[in-house]
């Protein structure tokens, strides 16, 4: 009997198809991506059924940690520079060109204006440290938060305000922010939430 | 792995034959690179834009007495947010020296939502019909919004006053605003808590 010969097949696979797929996906991700913005603190937003998406540009972000610390950010580098200029005039602090440049690269910050110079002189990696996340004073005695909103409004008149607060934030903190905004006649703003399923409305009533 | 063919170009009779090199290239490294980049983009992107809730607060400008809209007591519902996610509500206001009955409830579907749906049932039914009509016919979003707003602005629909105590959290506020959206409450306002409400609450909690 002749031996059955096992035919040896080459193990090499044609990679072209796989390559096509990989690059197709790559293109997709590159086109749809907007990079995650670095935030000094992590907040977990409360969920709501609202499905309105927030616009990506022209946004003033107010970040509130559950301890009540307030952080502030404005979209766009030239606008940030302009905002710091306005703030500097208000608190009579002179900033150098380098400090303006550094500041315009910071997405969201939370330092009192008196320590801004100090903060900007730090290395970018040190700025995210816990002890540097001081929060912006927002109480009625020293309401720098209000000044920042005003400065941002001057720099970018059509910016929308978005409040991103942790779900455990005590209400007085929010009330204080809302009152500050009300003082500035900023009566329309957005609360950033995460998505939740809309319950079947009438069923629950039966 | 590489598939560069090794055709023997054993020269027969010394005829000069140009060496045929296969055009097949090994794609494996390219696939590797492709997937590496995909991984990078997948990890750095935020696919979902955050949801937001739009909220309009009243402006601080004083409205003259005669222009103020008086809330009819029979339409008014006051919701008070307390600590530990507790919700208290009462209908109407103090009349003939009798305090309104304060009820305690929670944020579950059978809690405050059930009550609001019951009070707002006519509007709920109408909105439901509109939703069905929208699903059946190809109604434009603008028309839908317009008609929904008309329904919600019903003259008999309840008006909700949201009052939060200092012990409430931000999450409670968003939750209650959410309930307003779920129950199609057209008119609601976030108001500061009054002494009277605190007194009322005390009588219930003790």
Rounded to whole angstroms, the Cα distance separating B188 from B178 reads: 12
Predicted-complex ipTM score: 0.73
- The number of folded domains in chain B is 1
* Residue B168: count of CB within 10 angstroms of its CB: 27
Partners of residue B81 on adjacent β-strands: B87, B164
Domain span holding position B144? 71-205
Tell whether the model's pLDDT for residue B45 goes beyond 80.
Answer: no
Which element (helix H / strand E) includes B119? helix B112-119
Average of pLDDT values for B96-105? 76
User: Does A180 reach chain B within 8 Å, measured CB to CB?
Assistant: no
Q: Cα A183 from chain centroid?
A: 24
Strand (E) or helix (H) holding B103: strand B103-105
Is B17 inside any structural domain? no
SS3 category, A99: helix
Contacts by B114-121 with C-beta closer than 8 Å and gap 24+? Answer: B114/A204, B114/A205, B115/B89, B116/B77, B116/B158, B116/B160, B116/B179, B116/B183, B116/B185, B117/A201, B117/A202, B117/A204, B117/A205, B117/B183, B118/A205, B119/B77, B119/B158, B120/B157, B120/B158, B120/B183, B120/B184, B120/B185, B121/A205
A22 in any annotated domain: no
Supply the pLDDT for residue B36: 92
Nearest CA in chain B to A161: B54
Min CA distance, B82 vs chain A (Å)?
A: 10
Q: Which residue has the tokens 């009277």?
A: B196
pLDDT above 60: residue B123: yes
Q: What is the DSSP string of B157-195?
A: S-EEEEEE-TT-BHHHHHHHHHHHHHTT--EEEEEPPPH
- B57 assigned to some structural domain: no
Q: Report residue B117: phi and psi, to 5°.
A: -65, -40
B198 contacts B170 by C-beta, under 8 angstroms: no
Positions of chain A with pLDDT lower than 50, given as ranges: 201-206
Asked, for residue A35, whether it belongs to a domain, the answer is no
In a domain, B114, yes or no: yes
The answer to whether position A103 is within a domain reads yes
Q: Of A53, A171, A199, which is closest to B170 when you measure between CB atoms?
A: A171
Of A32, A51, A188, the CB nearest to B51: A51
Cα separation, B178 vs B123, whole angstroms? 17
- Using CA atoms, how far apart are residues A172 and B72, in angstroms rounded to an integer? 29
Total domain count for chain A? 1
Which tokens sit at A175? 């009330």
Q: Cβ of A32 and B113 within 8 Å?
A: no
CA distance A178 to B59: 11
**Cβ–Cβ contact A44 with B under 8 A:** no
Residue B88 lies in a domain: yes
Residue A106 falls within a domain, yes or no?
Answer: yes
Tell me whether residues A190 and B54 touch, CB distance under 8 A. yes
- Strands A59-64 vs A70-74: parallel, antiparallel or unpaired: antiparallel
Question: What's A115's DSSP letter?
Answer: G
Q: Which of A36, A52, A187 sits opposite B56 (nearest CB)?
A: A187
Could you tell me whether strands A59-64 and A47-48 are parallel, antiparallel, or unpaired per DSSP bridges? unpaired
Cβ of residue A122 closer than 8 Å to a chain B Cβ: no
Q: Which residues contact B107 (CB under 8 A, 6 or more apart)?
A: B85, B87, B172, B175, B176, B179
> Is A56 touching B (CB cutoff 8 A)?
yes
Note whether residue A21 is domain-resident: no
Residue B126, classed as helix, strand or coil, is helix
The answer to the question of residue A31 being in a domain is no
Assess whether pLDDT exceeds 60 at residue B114.
Answer: yes
Domain membership flag for residue A15: no
Q: What are phi and psi of B133, to 5 degrees?
A: -65, -35
pLDDT reading at B13 higher than 70: no
Chain B, nearest residue to A34 by Cα: B45
In angstroms and rounded to an integer, the radius of gyration of the C-alpha atoms of chain A is: 25
Q: Quickly state the pLDDT bin for B83 (edges 50, 70, 90).
A: confident
pLDDT at position A205, please?
A: 41
Query: pLDDT, tens digit, for every residue of B160-180?
Result: 888 888 888 888 888 888 888
Task: Give the HSE-up count for residue A109: Cα atoms under 13 Å, Cβ half-sphere.
Answer: 25
Write down the pLDDT at residue B10. 47
* Average pLDDT of the residues of chain B: 77
Instruction: Report the pLDDT value the prediction gives residue B147, as an integer from 0 to 100.
Output: 81
pLDDT value at residue B11: 45
Distance (Å, whole) CA B33 – CA A18 = 12
The verdict on a CB contact (< 8 Å) between B34 and A26 is yes
Contact A78, A105 (CB under 8 A): no
The range of the structural domain enclosing residue A91 comes to 47-195
pLDDT digits (tens, 9 = 90+) for B55-76: 777 776 666 666 666 667 777 8
Q: Look at the pTM and tell me if it is higher than 0.80.
A: no
Residue A191 contacts by C-beta under 8 Å, 6 or more apart in sequence?
A48, A162, A163, A165, B52, B53, B55, B174, B177
Report d(CA B97, CA B22) in Å as an integer.
99
Instruction: Please state, in angstroms and rounded to a whole number, the distance separating the CA atoms of residues B39 and A121.
Output: 34
- Does residue B116 fall inside a structural domain? yes
B 64-103 residues with CB < 8 A to A:
81
Cβ contact, residue pair A201, B172, below 8 Å = no
pLDDT at B14 over 80: no
Q: List phi, psi (to 5°) of A151.
A: -65, -40
First to last CA, chain A: 81
The pLDDT of residue A204 is 43
pLDDT > 70: percent of chain B: 81
Question: pLDDT tens for residues B176-188?
Answer: 888 888 888 878 8
Is residue A155, in this structure, part of any structural domain at all?
A: yes
């Amino acid at each position: 009997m002749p031996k059955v010969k096992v035919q040896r097949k080459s193990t090499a696979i044609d990679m072209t198809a796989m390559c096509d797929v990989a690059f197709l996906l790559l293109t997709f991700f590159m086109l749809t991506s907007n990079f995650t913005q670095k935030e000094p603190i992590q907040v977990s937003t409360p969920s709501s059924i609202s499905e309105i998406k927030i616009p990506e540009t022209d946004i003033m972000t107010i970040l509130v940690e559950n301890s009540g610390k307030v952080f502030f950010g404005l979209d766009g580098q030239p606008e940030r520079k302009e905002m710091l200029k306005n703030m500097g005039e208000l608190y009579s602090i002179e900033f150098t060109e380098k400090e303006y440049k550094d500041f315009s690269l910071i997405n969201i910050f939370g330092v009192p204006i008196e320590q801004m110079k100090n903060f900007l002189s730090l290395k970018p990696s040190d700025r995210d440290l816990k002890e540097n996340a001081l929060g912006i004073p927002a109480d009625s005695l020293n309401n720098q938060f209000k000044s920042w909103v005003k400065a941002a409004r001057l720099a970018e008149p059509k910016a929308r305000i978005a409040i991103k607060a942790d779900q455990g934030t005590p209400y007085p903190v929010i009330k204080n922010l809302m009152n500050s905004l009300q003082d500035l006649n900023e009566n329309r703003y957005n609360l950033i939430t995460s998505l939740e399923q809309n319950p079947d409305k009438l069923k629950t009533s039966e | 792995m590489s598939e560069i063919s090794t055709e023997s170009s054993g020269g027969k009779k010394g005829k000069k034959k140009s060496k045929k090199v296969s055009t097949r290239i090994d794609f494996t490294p390219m696939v590797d690179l492709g997937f590496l980049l995909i991984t990078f983009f997948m990890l750095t992107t935020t696919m979902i834009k955050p949801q937001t809730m739009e909220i309009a607060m009243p402006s601080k400008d004083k409205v003259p007495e005669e222009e103020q809209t008086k809330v009819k007591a029979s339409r008014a519902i006051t919701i008070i947010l307390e600590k530990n996610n507790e919700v208290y509500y009462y209908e109407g206001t103090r009349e003939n020296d009798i305090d309104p009955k304060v009820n305690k409830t929670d944020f579950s579907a059978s809690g405050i939502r059930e009550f609001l749906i019951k009070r707002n049932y006519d509007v709920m039914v109408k909105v439901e019909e509109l939703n069905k009509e929208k699903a059946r016919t190809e109604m434009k979003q603008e028309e839908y919004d317009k008609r929904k707003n008309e329904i919600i602005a019903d003259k008999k629909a309840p008006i909700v006053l949201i009052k939060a105590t200092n012990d409430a959290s931000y999450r409670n506020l968003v939750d209650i605003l959410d309930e307003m959206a779920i129950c199609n409450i057209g008119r609601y306002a976030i108001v500061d808590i009054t002494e009277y409400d605190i007194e009322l609450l005390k009588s219930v909690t003790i």
